[in-house]
Structure 1
Amino acid sequence: MQTVIIVVHLMIVAVLIGAVLLQKSEGGGLGMGGGAGFMSSRGTANLLTRTTAILAVGFFVTSLLLSWLAGLERKPTSIIGAQAPASQTQPGGATPVKPPTSGGVLDTLKKAEQQQKQAPAAPQAPQSQ
């Protein structure tokens, strides 16, 4: 149904553009000027004005209908209490790095330093303090 309304909407737009371009402007640009024709210039102006008004109403109606149909498919979501999906994967299949369970980076570095001090004595480079 939405596709049909879009096609009708586009047809209305194309005809509306043509009707606006055919109207006689004050400068007489693309208008259907001249006395030759099946209608007088006044009758043509009235016909084009009415046609433009009807097409404009059709344009607005189809625009509103399309926006209403688009709103029907939207489902309201709440950001409060939204949870991340349980199975998130990293791109490239890489396993995510797990943060330390207790402490931060400094605590991890201190633990690593303590483990190095407890290691068997071996010649080490002097460390500045």
Structure 2
Amino acid sequence: MNSKNKTLYSFIPFLGIITLISFWVFKATKPFNTETYFVLGLVILIIGISLYFKITSYKSEKAGLTAEDEFSKRVKEKSAAKAFNWSIYMWLFIIFLVDMEPRNKITIGLGIIGMGLIFFLNWLYLSKVGISDENKD
């Protein structure tokens, strides 16, 4: 399988997620409350950010460039590492300050969405500021 087809096939999960969210919104029997609109907005935001990355890599491949250069890969690695560290503190904050009940699924969902947003903010910061050379003495 060549890389262009592989990139095109990577858009299929987005179509599935958008279809499921649309189905959920249109089949909901109760009117949404504020929390539901907030979570739905965050989910759509994360899907949009992910779709932006996929479209950018597809355009790069279509232009004959590599999908990700060395700097982009390094920024993603650093962002993921920082996001993991910050998300641990976020989960500690959630566990200590939010009354956790087994029925409260929204808290876990918000935590996972928060981890994605923390990764994006780290990526945005590191892509603008750059990465210091860790091999200096």
Q: What TM-score do you get using the length of structure 2 for normalisation? A: 0.37
User: Whose helix proportion is higher, 1 or 2?
Assistant: 2
Higher relative contact order (CA 8 A, sep 6+): 2
Q: Which has the larger radius of gyration?
A: 1
